[in-house]
């Protein structure tokens, strides 16, 4: 079930208040520009088809709002994002105190945010794979995946030792 790149944002915005597709498209900005009707209409139809939203007619406008499934999804999404944020800070601060040093510098914080942007999709993919493996009871594959990732990181750190703090 691929609902597209705007789905989470659209659901989050609709969790704040019901609105028309036009109003949602104005709030769903990407790179500073409004999302087009050619993007928003299929997105809304898909979210409706999958049971996350429904609409009511108000005059000639369709006003969209979350269903209970959509509300649960947004609630769980908020918890998921908070968990990721807390875990990343806890791990970084508990092991090497990298983030406190980085966050003291605007330039380093910018570089950190760029690194997070580059790695986010890969990390989420790894989490999805780990979830599927865990749900199937295959914890050995998860352990193997973690071991392989740690081996790659050690290899990179040893090759880049003068440049990267360990």
pTM, 2 dp: 0.65
Write the CA distances from 89 to 11, 67, 80, 93, 103, integer angstroms: 26, 33, 14, 6, 11
Q: Which residue has the higher pLDDT, 101 or 126?
A: 126
Q: What is the DSSP secondary structure assignment for residue 104, as one 8-state letter?
A: T
Whether 28 contacts 35, CB under 8 Å: yes
Determine what percent of the chain is predicted with pLDDT higher than 70.
82
Concatenated DSSP letters for 1-25?
Answer: ----TTHHHHHHHHHH--EEHHHHH
Give residue-wise pLDDT tens across range 68-104: 999 999 999 999 888 887 877 666 655 555 556 666 7
pLDDT attached to residue 166? 47
pLDDT tens profile 24-77: 988 887 556 677 878 889 999 999 999 999 999 999 999 999 999 999 999 999
**Greatest C-alpha distance within the chain:** 66
Question: Chain centroid to CA 53: how far?
Answer: 20
**Contact between 18 and 64 (Cβ < 8 Å):** yes
């Amino acid at each position: 079930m691929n609902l597209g790149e705007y789905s989470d944002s659209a659901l989050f915005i609709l969790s704040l208040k019901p609105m028309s597709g036009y109003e949602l498209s104005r709030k769903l900005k990407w790179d500073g520009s409004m999302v087009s009707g050619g993007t928003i209409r299929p997105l809304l139809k898909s979210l409706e088809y999958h049971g996350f939203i429904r609409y009511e007619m108000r005059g000639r406008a369709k006003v969209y709002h979350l269903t209970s499934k959509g509300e649960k999804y947004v609630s769980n999404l908020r918890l998921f994002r908070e968990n990721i944020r807390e875990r990343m800070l806890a791990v970084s601060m508990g092991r090497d105190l990298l983030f406190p040093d980085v966050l003291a510098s605007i330039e380093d914080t910018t570089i950190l945010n760029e690194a997070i942007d580059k790695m986010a999709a890969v990390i989420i993919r790894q989490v999805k794979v780990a979830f599927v493996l865990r749900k199937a009871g295959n914890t050995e594959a998860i352990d193997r995946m973690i071991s392989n990732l740690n081996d790659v990181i050690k290899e990179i750190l040893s090759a880049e030792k003068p440049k990267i703090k360990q």
